[in-house]
Chain A
């Protein structure tokens, strides 16, 4: 299994249009997307994006339609050429790679899952899954064996000789996922991979991904516009608006401290009892801390259920080592769960 790789995106700009380079400086000085469009007929795709994704973590990217999510993820394997900036992976700047080096990079370092699946309609499931290996020049029987094991892994055993159009959307996306995984690449790019699926299947697919992630520890960029999905999947979340990052952090940070109204509008319907951890909103520990205790990483909902079941009005909060680090009164837990900060 390949070592997980980090992704370092630095000051990335993308402007769509005939002469994008002419307008970078204006955008750097603060020209807005609307202004750029009105005055120069160019579209601002991304403005000064810097993110660093830790190896082996899942970075979610969110934002409304047109905010630049797809544009951003397509820069990581350079399906889109940036106007300025760099993307460093494994010590190499992807932006500076030669075509041959880029091809090698795409073959071995990244794999991608698409919103509309983008399977090859004229190939069977197994030949779709084996496509990445075929491109790498892996021999037929070897790549088929690898493909078959991934097909089984995503729960499609028995369907390997079907054509994509004979499968439901959920099954097609399993093929898409298996195709990406078969590449054995340390970086997985998922552009709204689950947005076309209905809620129950989507939940299943999230589970599949999380199970796989426990085992293979890839670095995953996951795009979604569903905040619940982002919270469930993401180690960290970046929120885009008009091509800029509005806020980047853990889901809990966003829920508790939204940077502005745009972020608030994304997080307002979130079930805070599930998201917020006791340790982030507890009160300082007092000397006489004792009695029933709860782990700091438990969520508010668990704390509230425990207290009401046992008729308590507060819990002692413990860290991993079992040391008391704070107090969680019932009133505070309920208030935060109901929306207080």
Chain B
């Protein structure tokens, strides 16, 4: 009697085992028949990753420092931020992590680009229809909360270990903020301004392009910023499936208990996170200058 209360009435063990096996088999079958096709589909992205990495590694280090400095200056007009960005990067290089850092930056740039290209249109679709919004929200929740190891399994089964699988893992994890904030930004645009655009006979495109996106841009930029941060956070996990960069030494450090190696690479990740964060935020603020004071 009490036994019945203490044991949850679970599915028959046999049935459960069969169920899992059937699904696994079906997926394996799917991988076997479509794996090549899917790999072909993602080939352009693989090319992009390879090229980006080659570019970052091929650039002379002074040029990289110069570009980072120029970006920091263009965004912020602050000497302090510019100097801090350049010095941080230089320090990372001085401690022997230049190449891994360049690889990671290449990876982050491509992943962010993909997340933007996929995420902004999705966010716009969400903003245009309440039905799409209520359909997308749970999907985004799953993407953010599902432990990344779990969706790494099918991705690796389909694409094998390597850059592309890593990129997909990173993009899946980093996509939700940009989708959510694009949706929010577009929905938040002042109703009266939208009404004015309508009253002057704007088409849906004109309204999107001239009014909704420009006014949502600061919020979208906040999404881009968060996406970059989440992509960076994912770098260590992505290294488990063969993504090169700062994550791999961390992984090695964990398995071999190399304390200093782990700390150095960890700080390097934090360092470029802060650089990316400050520069993208500075650009975000720049987009809002019309909201500022008299001589903006």
Contact = CB atoms under 8 A, between A and B. Distances in A.
B-side interface size class: 20 to 34
A163 B198 CA distance: 21
Nearest to A176: B196
A299 interface: no
Nearest to A80: B195
A106 B199 contact: yes
Interface in B194-213: 195-203, 206, 210-211
Contact of A79 (B190, B199, B214, B296): B199
B195 to A, nearest CB: 6
A296 to B, nearest CB: 41
Interface stretch (A113-121, A271-279, A315-323): A113-121
Contacts of B203: 103, 135
Interface string B275-296: 0000000000000001110101
A135 B208 CA distance: 12
A183 B200 contact: yes
Nearest to B295: A166
A118 B206 contact: no
Interface string B94-115: 0000000000000000000000
B201 A106 contact: yes
A92 interface: no
B236 interface: no
Interface in A224-269: none
Contacts of B292: 165
B201 to A, nearest CB: 3
B195 A118 contact: yes
B237 to A, nearest CB: 39
B193 interface: yes
B215 interface: yes
A163 B193 CA distance: 15
A33 interface: no
A333 interface: no
B199 A135 contact: no
A319 to B, nearest CB: 43
Contacts of A119: 193, 196
A120 B296 CA distance: 16
A122 B200 contact: no
A103 B203 CA distance: 7
B199 A77 contact: yes
Given A114-B195, A163-B296, A120 B201 contact: no
Contact of B201 (A122, A136, A164): A136
Contacts of A77: 199
Interface string A14-44: 0000000000000000000000000000000
B14 interface: no
Which 7 pairs from chain A and chain B are nearest by CB?
Answer: A107-B201, A106-B201, A118-B196, A118-B192, A112-B199, A163-B290, A132-B200
Given A106-B200, A118-B190, A120-B196, 14 more contacts: A79-B195, A105-B201, A106-B198, A108-B201, A112-B196, A112-B200, A120-B211, A121-B193, A122-B290, A134-B210, A135-B200, A135-B206, A135-B210, A165-B291
Interface of B: 190, 192-193, 195-203, 206, 210-211, 214-215, 290-292, 294, 296
Interface of A: 77, 79, 103-108, 110-112, 114, 116, 118-122, 131-132, 134-136, 163-166, 179, 183, 189
